[in-house]
Amino acid sequence: MPSRAPLQRKIHGLDCVEEVSMLKRELLPLVEDESRLTFDLLRAKLTIDVNGTSRSTEEIDAAIQRTGLRFEPWVDSSPSDEPVSFWQKHRRAILTAISGLCGVIGWLLQTFYGRSDNVAGELAQSSELGISPIAATIYLVGIIAGLILVLPKAWRSLVSMRPDMNLLMSVAVVGAIAIGEWFEASTVAFLFSLSLLLESWSIGRARRAISALMQWTPPVARLVSESGDVLETPPDEIAIGSTLQIRPGDKVPLDGVVLSGTSDIDQSPITGESVPIEKEVGDTVYAGTINGDGVLTMQTTKTSDDSTLARIIRMVSEAGSKRANAEQWVEKFAAIYTPIVFASALLVMLIPPLLFAASWNDWIYRSLVLLVIACPCALVISTPVSVISALTSAARHGVLIKGGVFIELPAALDAIAFDKTGTLTHGEPAVSEIVLGIDGSDVPILDEQAFLSLAASIASQSSHPLSLAIVDYARESDVQTTAATDVVAIPGKGTTAMVDGQSIWMGSERLMKDRAISCSRTKGLLNEAKFRDHSVVIVGDSERVLGIVLLRDPVRSIAHGVIARLRESGIHNISMLTGDHDAAAQRVAEQAGIDDVHSQLLPEDKVEVIGLMVEEYGNVAMVGDGVNDAPALAIATLGIAMGGSGSDAAIETADITLMSDDLNLLPWLREHSVRTLLIIRQNIIFALSIKFIFVLLTFLGYASLWAAIAADTGASLLVIFNALRLLQTRSTTG
């Protein structure tokens, strides 16, 4: 059989698990293997591997057509952000707002104007007399607004005899209307529409985050031709082995190695490390990183589609689509519960009259009572109200949770992996020590205050992160600086200047060698483990080394206590993942109380480690803050981003964001999740117990329609009040 290219389709409305489930339901019988289907939710793209199958394009398209979703062939050159009308963009939000507003207006009309004075007399009659036509009409408008996007899916679910959440919700609303519980029907329609709106909003935010991530790649690269001319060329037209020129401040367009020049490169978009890295001949540079103040010539080693940044974008998209395929418990329950309810009501209506000559009127009435009490309103309302309460409480504590499914996961975690820089540490360099007396004399040439004044005077003329840290340290130490003149920045090495009439230099060991300063003790110190664990800034004059400033990214003071609390809560494994070198990683791990350390990792390495942890432990959370953490955040069972200092890509990829960067929120989140699950289980058990009791009373002939209505409404109110307990404030510090 000849090889066939994959079929690619743009699926309009491919936003969540329900669309994915519908497509899989129709396509799996044709392709047989689920691995042949790839769903890219972020771009609304479906890829079907038809190689080795006998299915035609027409058969595949017909199966997609049966889902009712609009689709078209995928065109790579088409803009990803095609224009859409205001209604297409905001229709779900508008319909949800209309649904909620009509529910409130209908309730007000029903409460204050819709009922006659003879309430007791009405309660003794049919429930249809308990609401005015105006209130019923307002309720109906709200219900239609809430379900108009759901009803087509519910109908397809009914026709295919495969009940899902859409059918369950539709049955709940129709059942509530049938028994005259208009407010309850309106509430169910509004809550379900709101949950779908939040899910769609989350996907939209993720799409925008990926678009922003793509901006890290510059639109043009400076290609050096064989004749030496520099041509501005799109990165996707540049072949492997080409020579590029990178000017100061430019973004690196492709992965490659340095051919000539030296410069500091800000690698934080890729590796997450806060301190720029010195690059010289032979060093690797990554697409999306930012060049410092030197000119570099590089040779490309990868195409634009295979760069580290491109792989980050691709891994985020693929991991997100895989996670969206997971079926939720409510869908599974609906697939069993709904058919049983319909079948039971039908049997109750038919069997006694047909087999035992019982009264048709009596058993038709009992079947109606069974349908009323079996209406899953209380059960359906209990979970979303619990989830909304939990999400609201979390937001009050500075925790942004992107959906109900993610409020449950912290309670089930078996392992947690932490990024180092910006997560366990502050993400910014700080002065940790000043070393004087480097020239070997017993008495230092300068005391610490004079030395710090000298260093800060030069550092104040630079925007380099290490210079800023030195200036901040001098300010905190109340050290006065003087104006530096004749300042010269030496790319990739440091700075020279005149301070109080002295020629002073400050920078790396390479600058010391260039200044022909011979100091064997300095060279010996730089080889010690303590110095290798720091960023080192050497300061000297024309004859000698005056001192060394040691800087490093400090560990958060609360990190050790947070790790201890997580272990006490039952987390089996706590690991640290970092792109930093071994010595720095071990130092942070020791201070934080972490035993399992993985260092010198690129983004794809972090993904591999998380994958192995998932295989070994089960449910694994990844906590990070950088663009380089985004793939690992996406592939983990639960992605948690540090929102205060985190990148947009990490925040949008993660399932949960800690807006204040407070690590104490992690053990609080786990406790909050456990409490939420407990209340959800309580509500489910209570709602089902009430229904079971009234089902028995129905068969025994003791249940009436009004008793069923009262029980269902009462159960709904009780589970709602129980769920609202989640709004109570609890301390995050334990």
**One-letter-per-residue 3-state SS of 407-465:** HHHHHHCCEEEEEHHHHHECCCCEEEEEEECCCCCCCCCCCHHHHHHHHHHHHCCCCCH
- Measured CA distances, 598 to 269, 387, 541, 564 (Å): 20, 35, 40, 20
Please say whether the beta carbons of 456 and 481 come within 8 A. Answer: yes
Three-state secondary-structure class, residue 585 = helix
The token pair that represents 60 in the structure block: 């595949």
The strand pair at 573-577 and 415-419 is best described as parallel
Beta-carbon contacts of 537 under 8 Å, excluding residues fewer than 6 positions away, are 455, 466, 470, 494, 506, 507, 508, 548, 549, 551
Q: Looking at this protein, which amino acid is placed at residue 218?
A: P
Q: Closest by alpha carbon to 562, among 701, 671, 645?
A: 671
Q: Is 546 helix (H, G, I), strand (E, B) or coil?
A: strand
- 482 with 464: CB under 8 angstroms? no
CA angle 355, 358, 364 (to 5 degrees): 105
Which are the contacts of 148, defined by CB distance < 8 A and separation ≥ 6? 95
Q: How far apart are CA 196 and CA 198, in angstroms?
A: 5
Task: Count Cα atoms within 13 angstroms, Cβ side, for 212.
Answer: 15
Nearest to 391 by CA among 654, 639, 656, 193: 656
Strands (E), 335-414: 399-401
Residues 123, 706 contacting (CB under 8 angstroms): yes
**Exposed/middle/buried for 28, CB within 10 Å: 0-12, 13-18, 19+?**
middle
Please report how many Cα atoms fall inside a 13 Å half-sphere around the Cα of residue 558, on the Cβ side. 15
**Amino acid code (one letter) for 195:** S
Q: How far is residue 731's CA from residue 161's CA, in Å, rounded to a whole number? A: 48
What value does the CA radius of gyration of the chain take, rounded to a whole number of Å?
A: 33
Cα separations in angstroms, 277 against 508, 543, 686: 12, 28, 60
If DSSP codes are grouped into helix, strand and coil, which group holds residue 705? helix
Q: Which residues contact 589 (CB under 8 A, 6 or more apart)?
A: 576, 595, 597
Among candidate residues 394, 309, 167, the one with its CA nearest the CA of residue 647:
309
Residue with tokens 């004075």: 117
Enzyme catalytic residues: 419
**Distance (Å, rounded) from C-alpha 641 to C-alpha 669?**
13
Q: Is 300 helix (H, G, I), strand (E, B) or coil?
A: strand
Read off the tokens for 166.
Answer: 């859409």
Closest by CA to 47, choosing from 60, 56, 58, is 60
Distance of CA 186 to the CA centre of its chain: 31
